[in-house]
Amino acid sequence: MSRGAANAARAGGVSCGANRAGGDWQQRADVVIVGTGVAGLAAALAAHRDGRRVVILSKAAETATFHAQGGIAVVLPRTEDTVDAHVQDTLAAGAGLCDPDAVRSIVADGYHAVADLIADGARFDESAPGRFALTREGGHSIRRIIHAGGDATGAEVQRALDQAAATLDIRRNHVALEILHDDSAVTGVLVRNADGLGVVHAPSVILATGGLGHLYSATTNPEGSTGDGIALALWAGVGVSDIEFIQFHPTMLFDRGAGGRRPLITEALRGEGAVLRDARGDSVTEGVHPMGDLAPRDVVAAAIEARLRETGDECVFLDARAVERFERRFPTVTAACHAAGIDPTRQPIPVVPGAHYSCGGVLTDVHGRTGLPGLFAAGEVARTGMHGANRLASNSLLEGLVVGGRAGRAAAAHARAAGSPVGGVVERRRDAHDRRDLQRAMTRWASVVRDGAGLHDLAAVLEDAPAGVIRSRADFEDAALTATARVVAAAALARTESRGCHHRSDFPGSDPTQAVSHTVHAQPALTAPLS
């Protein structure tokens, strides 16, 4: 018996060769989660603890959660911090596009979500027994960032959730190709695995696929961050919002000519006193923002980009030589620097902005519900209104924990009410651009600073993409990247102003009349069935 068939039997489904529903096998679940990062596993555990049959689909071995360094922004009891203060910092970073009610809802539930994570085995750094060690990052008015392993918070969060979810039905090397629905509600997921093309019938599906960093030639994201959930939602007729707001982390380790995933140099370094300087030793952010190097990420990334255009230099430098106990406090950064031949205790670290986080995504409420009944989204793939035009540092793990858990409970409730749908499927052709060409085009025309002429050129390039059948993970990712790039370009063209992490050189100022979010849908031509 193949692994797919064994999993089907364990889940109470069938594995039965080619069938009228489409594909080579069929299985059944109550809730299907696509993704195994913080939001996906938080959702899976919540749905499982609600008594639902859960199947988790995992495409890639690495998650963005694992690579998160800084920590979790959370208001702790019995501290000087308040929910109001965290909300205000988040709204300020979001540049007028946050949903204040959504922000308050998620921030207020943060400590409970962290407490649940600790109950599942997570351990955070302490300044004294029973007292969390706190750090500060850009845009925060107070120290409220809890962390683990110095700068390995994501690894600890992933470890704890992996351990808690170890007995759940996690399907490795399974690629979700399409959300199946009957025009009124979700009926399942079309999946490709080693056994071929198959269907997991389920009334509830949760997208927790992470980000879209590999739209660009270099990114802090792991290789699986190819906009999968954005594409799946678009193909299912669900809109995405604020997708033009892609956060470029100010400090990605620079290595001339290196592409793909590049190491992140955590913002917490600046919270502990590291400073940004150019090749001449001049401050990069002096006079740019009252918070200087601890300004929100969009401000710092734009300041670096402007300085590089002005000087013609390839990078700027983060001088962390005065940071105490550097190697102990920041072991992940230390290892990355050493691998690049840099001693951060003796040398400034060369850095550039790098594609890091999608502030927008699939349009949801604070419980992960989309406009299609039975389809949910949580984590980076979702747009709850938490981040607006720019994400406040360390709010991502917070949102993933809170909304992931809520989405799991909401999906479980929907599955309980919906019963056991059966949906058929027609395999479809999808437009797919050559990945390297797409990444070069996005890097050239839709990076930290854009303009209308470049975005029009980008849209023209993206429109010219051949359609084909998806036969592999690579085929699917190329199609997902193409669909995602198209809506990013469309949204960026529509926003004729600079706001948050969306910078237009032809519209350098903000327009108060554009302080609204835009929703974008896929073009019908992208989902033409096979003839």
Catalytic residues: 297
Sequence length of the chain is 531
Distance of CA 392 to the CA centre of its chain: 14
DSSP string, 135-190: E--TT-SS--EE-STTT-HHHHHHHHHHHHTTTSEEEET-EEEEEEE-SSSEEEEE
> Which distant-in-sequence residues (6+ apart) come within 8 Å of 67 by Cβ?
154, 155, 220, 221, 222, 264
- For the purposes of burial, counting CB atoms within 10 Å of the CB of 96, is it exposed (0-12), middle (13-18) or buried (19 or more)? middle
Alpha-carbon distance of 10 to 391, in angstroms, equals 41
Going from the C-alpha of 293 to that of each of 135, 273, 331, 444, the distances in angstroms are: 15, 9, 22, 26
Q: Which two tokens stand for residue 490?
A: 């469309």
Helices and strands (DSSP H and E) totals, the chain: 16, 28
64-82: burial string, b at 16+ Cβ within 10 Å, e else = bbbbbbbbbbbbeeeeebe
Which tokens go with 105?
Answer: 């809802």
The tokens of 3 are what?
Answer: 């692994």
